[in-house]
């Protein structure tokens, strides 16, 4: 008879993490420390962005150095729509602005996914360092494009005129409500990506990572599969951007700078590539360490850098990979 309890250390770790996340808001309020709710909400948003990158990096072997571009685009879609709604002006002289999350969030995913498809259509024709440099070039072009948009704050960014609304069902102004929305989105997207990576689509993606030539010779259109994965990852990153805009109440070109893309890559590698859970662990460790060390010293990077280096050297499969796996009991 199969036990209902987790039967491997990794499953126990995931279960305990889920319980801790669900219990955090009541515990933080009881201790009088609401700051931790905001901090972990930010971590959940970046965990979603890291999970989306893991789809193409961990499962597809595609080192995209411009993934933050899609996060930034999703954030700007929400910010610009809210700006026009508050000013009661038309976007591009045609479309009214809106603060409705039912409209803005899917549109953020659509725009980020469409941009990812366009970028992928060009960059996926290259490999290795050339692929990295092309994605970096696209990200920098997007960064400077939004810097040039003076109507939306330019380099200074744009304050969110109004947070997204959902027909009165939930208020994102409330920190606890936003926290549970972010946690719910992360859980649902994680489940969907888990199904995707375990499907025939995911198997082809992983097969192309292991031996692209063989997959092509047995008849799989590898380019199409990778392009679809790239677009899907961009759409999920756009959703993370929509959450980030509401969490920070602000959008800025800094959200899509190449250094932000590098941080998301580090989160994936630190937690464990090709696991989906690993990037969530990596985001938690990366951002919580950053928060703790920056409060301890102004030169926190001096400590943070060697710590990350040691983690990469001694945890080749990431922090999540350090947990042992044993066979399930029959």
DSSP string over 52-108: HHHHHHTTT----TTHHHHHHHHHHHHHHHHHHHHHT-EETTTEE---BHHHHHHHH
242-262: average pLDDT: 93
Of the candidate ranges 19-28, 42-51, 198-207, the one whose mean pLDDT is the lowest: 19-28
- The token duo for 323 is 């947990």
Q: What pLDDT sits at residue 328?
A: 45
pTM of the predicted structure, to 2 decimals:
0.92
* 153 in Cβ contact with 79 (< 8 Å): no
> Cβ of 291: how many Cβ atoms within 10 Å?
16
* 318 in Cβ contact with 273 (< 8 Å): yes
- The token duo for 206 is 């992983």
* 92 or 279, higher pLDDT: 279
Q: What pLDDT sits at residue 327?
A: 44
The residue among 265, 324, 329 whose CA lies nearest residue 10 is 324
> Is 54 a residue whose pLDDT tops 90?
yes
Q: What pLDDT sits at residue 256?
A: 93
Angle formed by the axes of helices 67-87 and 258-271, to 10°? 120
Q: CA-CA distances (angstroms) from residue 287 to 23, 109, 322?
A: 20, 24, 20
- 78: pLDDT confidence band, cut at 50, 70 and 90? very high
Strand partners, 158: 251
Residue with tokens 């789809």: 55
pLDDT in tens, 212-234: 899 999 889 999 999 999 999 99
Strand partners, 250: 159
Of the candidate ranges 4-13, 123-132, 248-257, 273-282, the one whose mean pLDDT is the lowest: 4-13
Q: What pLDDT sits at residue 6?
A: 59
195-204: average pLDDT: 94
Q: What pLDDT sits at residue 326?
A: 54
3-state secondary structure of 185: helix
Q: What pLDDT sits at residue 21?
A: 85
Of the candidate ranges 170-184, 188-202, 301-315, the one whose mean pLDDT is the lowest: 301-315
């Amino acid at each position: 008879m199969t036990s209902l309890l987790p039967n491997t250390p990794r499953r126990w770790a995931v279960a305990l993490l889920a319980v801790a996340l669900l219990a955090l808001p009541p515990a933080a309020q009881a201790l009088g420390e609401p700051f931790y709710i905001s901090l972990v909400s930010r971590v959940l948003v970046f965990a979603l962005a890291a999970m989306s990158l893991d789809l193409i990096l961990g499962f597809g072997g595609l080192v995209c150095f411009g993934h933050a571009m899609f996060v930034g685009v999703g954030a700007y879609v929400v910010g610009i729509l809210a700006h026009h709604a508050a000013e009661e002006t038309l976007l591009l002289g045609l479309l009214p602005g809106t603060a409705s999350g039912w409209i803005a969030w899917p549109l953020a995913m659509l725009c980020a996914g469409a941009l990812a498809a366009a970028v992928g259509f060009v960059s996926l024709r290259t490999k290795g360092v050339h692929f990295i440099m092309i994605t970096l070039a696209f990200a920098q072009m997007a960064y400077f494009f939004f810097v040039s948009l003076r109507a939306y704050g330019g380099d200074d960014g744009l304050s969110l005129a109004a947070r997204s609304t959902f027909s009165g069902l939930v208020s994102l102004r409330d920190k606890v409500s936003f926290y549970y929305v972010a946690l719910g989105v992360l859980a649902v997207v994680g489940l969907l990506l888990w199904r995707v990576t375990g499907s025939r689509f995911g198997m082809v993606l992983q097969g192309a990572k292991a031996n692209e030539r063989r997959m092509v010779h047995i008849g799989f259109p590898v380019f199409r599969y990778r392009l679809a994965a790239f677009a899907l990852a961009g759409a999920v990153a756009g959703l993370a951007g929509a959450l980030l805009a509401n969490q920070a109440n602000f959008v800025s070109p800094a959200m899509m700078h190449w250094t932000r893309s590098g941080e998301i890559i580090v989160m994936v590698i630190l937690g464990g590539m090709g696991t989906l859970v690993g990037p969530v662990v990596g985001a938690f460790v990366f951002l919580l360490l950053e928060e703790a060390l920056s409060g301890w010293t102004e030169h926190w990077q001096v400590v943070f850098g060697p710590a990350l280096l040691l983690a990469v050297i001694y945890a080749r499969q990431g922090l999540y990979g350090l947990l042992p796996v044993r066979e399930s009991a029959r």
